[in-house]
Structure 1
Amino acid sequence: MEESVKLQRSLTLLPVVLFGFSFMALGTVFSTYGIASQISHGMVAGSYVIALCIMLFTAYSYGQMAKEFPLSGSAYTFAQKSINPYIGFLVGWSILLDYLFIPMVNYLLFGIFFSATFPAIPSYVWVLLMLIPVTVVNIMGLKLANAVNVFATAFVVCFIIIFSVLSIRSILNGEGTGLLFTSAPFYNPHEHFSFLIAGASLLCFSFLGFDSVTTFSEEIVNPTKNIPRAVFIITLVGGLVFIVVSYLCQNLWPDYQAFKNPDSASADIIKLVGGNFLTGAFLALYGVGVFVSAMSSQASAARVLFAMGRDGQLPKRIFGHLNVKLKTPVNNILIISLLSLLALVLSLSLVASFINFGAFFAFICVNISVIAQYFFRKKERSFKGTVLYLILPLIGAVLDIWMLINLDIHSKILGGIWLVAGIFYLTFLTKGFKNRPPEINVTA
């Protein structure tokens, strides 16, 4: 019977961490640096510090909920089981904005970057060259995807190390500020603090990925321990990498207004410290980074759809089905691939606007889920329990609300429209809220 086919537990801590790094795409610090530098007025490292602090609170909440509910579905499952099924559905609906559109962002970036480098080849060719192998790898299962991840993540890490070493050498040789230690990239007293916050609102996008590993909870060995550890490691290490790289970039090129094109600012800096060789390596890095990020995000999205389909909140025969032999949600992977073909016609700014709203809405609800589950349902109200299960997640929720409010108007309008559409669908699904949304019974 179809219901007897289950996701297979095969992932240990290291592969899970690698998946998170792949989804997060450590190389994104280069692609966002120029714009972030202008928005933060040259205080990118400081904006990353703020973004990291905010994300650590939310990462903590994800870890606590993963211990309680080690199931596929991530934020959707957490809110569904701890708050109520209606909110859970809306969280799942909102987080789909992340999981469905992030693969598309990767394909768009790949097409834009490589068609600009090789203008004779149209953008749609690059999109298809990326989309097809990503889909095949995910259909074959996590063992193959894990092997690809190990190679790709190692390549990205090596590039970042080489860039950092060459940057330090250039700074010591008098390039840029000529100062290896300075507080300017973190805070400039001549600039208003609001620029730091504006930068942090943008750069929280760089951390999307720490939460993706919770969607693999049913495929991870000892998930109650490994998921919280993985979430914390991914968030902290990723944040430190972003801070170090942006700090070095600012010292190498202190005048953020001198970039000819902010979108290619990091390429200018890379060429400055490493010449054509490092620039070529960066092109390879970009391709590899986009591939693994697209692969990880597609795999995560497929499992969120699987969780909602298994619960009956999406058509079960389509979304709740696992391939008997491969034990992967093949239908969902193919659906996401077909949706990703919209990368051939949609703009990057429009797709990015969808993602931020869904992320922060889900983050807010996960923080509230910790309070609902531990502080109210389980009555963890000792001094320690109050700190761990009320104060910390409450701080996380407030910070995420703050970031949501600071999103650009397009993100809020498009995200709001998507959320309203979800409410209409939920109304239909529950016959005017007369019935509870379908859900599975789970022994946590």
Structure 2
Amino acid sequence: MIATGAMLLTGLSYAKMAKVHPSSGSVYTYARQELDSRLGFLSGWALLLDYLFLPMVAWLLQAIYLHAQFPAVPEWAWLVINVVLATAINVIGLKVADRVNRVLLLGVTAVLVVLAVLCVHYGLGHGGTPAAGQAFWNDATSVSAVTAAAAVAAYAFLGFDAVSTLSEEVHDPQRTIPRSIVLTVLTGGTVFVVISFLMQWAHPGGSFPDENSAGYLLSTTVGGKTFADIANIVGMLGGFASCVAIQASTSRLMFVMGRDGALPRRVFGRLHRRLLTPVVNVLVIGAVGLPAMNLSLADATSFINFGAFLGFTLVNICMIAYAVRQWRSGTRHSPVRYFVLPAAGAAVDVYLITQLGGTAVRLGLGWLVIGIVWLAVITKGFRRPAPEVRLGSDEDPGAVTPEGSGPLLPTA
């Protein structure tokens, strides 16, 4: 619930900014327009850390849960299998990915509904309604522990901001996109809260033989091994489709940044002559995912959240900067909606960064230092505006050239 509330504050700022900037909106555009082109670049650079580690975490989750069901195969082997298969698919290209994702989404949704029913049945038989109250809050619960966990749980929300990149693809974007962003946060948050509550009701506390695969173990407890195995396989199929989509999206983002000069164009801004896919980018992302075997799930997730929370903080600051500019020009907006809520959102995002752990913060700050150095190079010592990172184009998104000079709309 804390993670939902925290993300909703930022979601409201995203919604307002998407209405103000209905072009290929994102933190890149907002920071560039409302603050400074160099800050816009750095916000994009920070989120690139998020995008690079998203596939790693997706693959790590796959490996953990497949190993839990098939322990004879080492976790590292499952990781390599997932990375190689997803990378090969993205190098070749996968036109049916959208249809596959829709079918698998229905399958995963059905499994979650069955899991919810089984958790309620099990909870009623083991402690009843008093245990449900203990699942929400008990003597072992503390505010510090819950807020620290919320900083990790916020990983589940990442992607709601991607809706803002579709402003040029929908009808009436100034109305549709803001609603979509808020509804994405609220819908996801509702699912997360309900499922987490029911699972905690069925299995109070956090003591598991392996916390990383707690979901599989709990499914076994409430529904038996057969149900757990079926649910795990369906979830893993859906997860693999997500891995493919995440890697594809990241490779496209890197391509756009390379095409626009934010990254070395000769390396990242080119497409394969025959396959018309950013092969180098896909391979780089696959290589970044392999070290996941040496990371815990919490650490890998924290790396993602650092870049995301930093970008979210800037979106809230952009909202305030926009309101200040409007006030100076004579237009008065609601102080609560345009100052208080964005300020609260920025404060929450900064606080969540402090809860990520020292390793994640050090990695994130190191990444920012690299970004500042690279920014100094491409702006000739900060004397020029930073290149604009465009996530979309008014032109045909399929009109790409092997050399990467044409537009390419990243998959969402």
Q: Of 99, 104, 109, which aligns to 2:56?
A: 104
Q: Deviations over 1:138-177 (max 9, x none)?
A: 56778622212101211111110001112222233x22x2
Taking the aligned partners of 1:72 and 1:323, their CA distance within structure 2 comes to: 25
Q: Deviations over 1:207-262 (max 9, x none)?
A: 222123334555556544443233222211111111111111121122x1543332
Q: Of 298, 304, 307, which aligns to 1:358?
A: 307
Q: Deviations over 1:325-383 (max 9, x none)?
A: 98865654444234334446666455334212111111101111222234426858755
Q: Of 190, 210, 218, which aligns to 2:160?
A: 210
Q: Give percent identity, aligned residues only.
A: 40
Q: Of 104, 117, 121, which aligns to 2:69?
A: 117
Q: Deviations over 1:29-87 (max 9, x none)?
A: xxxxxxxxxxxxxxxxxxxx111011001112222223333455732232222211111
Taking the aligned partners of 2:93 and 2:167, their CA distance within structure 1 comes to: 15
What is the RMSD of the two structures over their aligned residues, measured on CA atoms?
3.3
Taking the aligned partners of 1:169 and 1:160, their CA distance within structure 2 comes to: 14
Q: Of 168, 190, 196, which aligns to 2:146?
A: 196
On the 8 A contact 1:171/1:180 being kept in 2, the answer is no
Taking the aligned partners of 1:190 and 1:118, their CA distance within structure 2 comes to: 33
Query: Are residues 146 and 379 of structure 1, via their aligned partners in 2, closer, same or farther at CA, if it must alter by over 3 Å?
Result: farther
Taking the aligned partners of 1:135 and 1:209, their CA distance within structure 2 comes to: 21
2:20 partner letter: E
On the 8 A contact 1:76/1:92 being kept in 2, the answer is yes
Query: Are residues 443 and 207 of structure 1, via their aligned partners in 2, closer, same or farther at CA, if it must alter by over 3 Å?
Result: closer
Taking the aligned partners of 1:132 and 1:258, their CA distance within structure 2 comes to: 34
Taking the aligned partners of 2:179 and 2:54, their CA distance within structure 1 comes to: 24
Q: Which runs of 5+ in 2 are unaligned?
A: 395-412
Query: Are residues 272 and 399 of structure 1, via their aligned partners in 2, closer, same or farther at CA, if it must alter by over 3 Å?
Result: same
On the 8 A contact 2:65/2:213 being kept in 1, the answer is no
Query: Are residues 164 and 199 of structure 1, via their aligned partners in 2, closer, same or farther at CA, if it must alter by over 3 Å?
Result: same
On the 8 A contact 1:212/1:300 being kept in 2, the answer is no
**SS of equivalent residue, structure 2 residue 129:** coil
Query: Pairwise mapping of residues 152-171 of structure 1 onto structure 2 (< 5 A)?
Result: 152-171=104-123
How high is the TM-score relative to the length of structure 2?
A: 0.83
Residue 28 of structure 1 is matched in structure 2 by none
On the 8 A contact 2:306/2:361 being kept in 1, the answer is yes
Residue 415 of structure 1 is matched in structure 2 by 364
Taking the aligned partners of 1:376 and 1:286, their CA distance within structure 2 comes to: 47
Query: Are residues 212 and 334 of structure 1, via their aligned partners in 2, closer, same or farther at CA, if it must alter by over 3 Å?
Result: farther
Residue 126 (structure 1) aligned with residue 78 (structure 2)? yes
Residue 405 of structure 1 is matched in structure 2 by 354
On the 8 A contact 1:76/1:88 being kept in 2, the answer is yes
How high is the TM-score relative to the length of structure 1?
A: 0.77
Residue 232 (structure 1) aligned with residue 182 (structure 2)? yes
Residue 252 of structure 1 is matched in structure 2 by 202
Residue 305 of structure 1 is matched in structure 2 by 254
Deviates more, 1:54-63 or 1:430-439: 430-439
Residue 264 of structure 2 is matched in structure 1 by 315
1:429 partner letter: I
Taking the aligned partners of 2:111 and 2:254, their CA distance within structure 1 comes to: 34
Taking the aligned partners of 1:182 and 1:95, their CA distance within structure 2 comes to: 38
Taking the aligned partners of 1:161 and 1:370, their CA distance within structure 2 comes to: 38
Residue 186 of structure 1 is matched in structure 2 by 136
Query: Are residues 336 and 264 of structure 1, via their aligned partners in 2, closer, same or farther at CA, if it must alter by over 3 Å?
Result: closer
Residue 270 (structure 1) aligned with residue 219 (structure 2)? yes
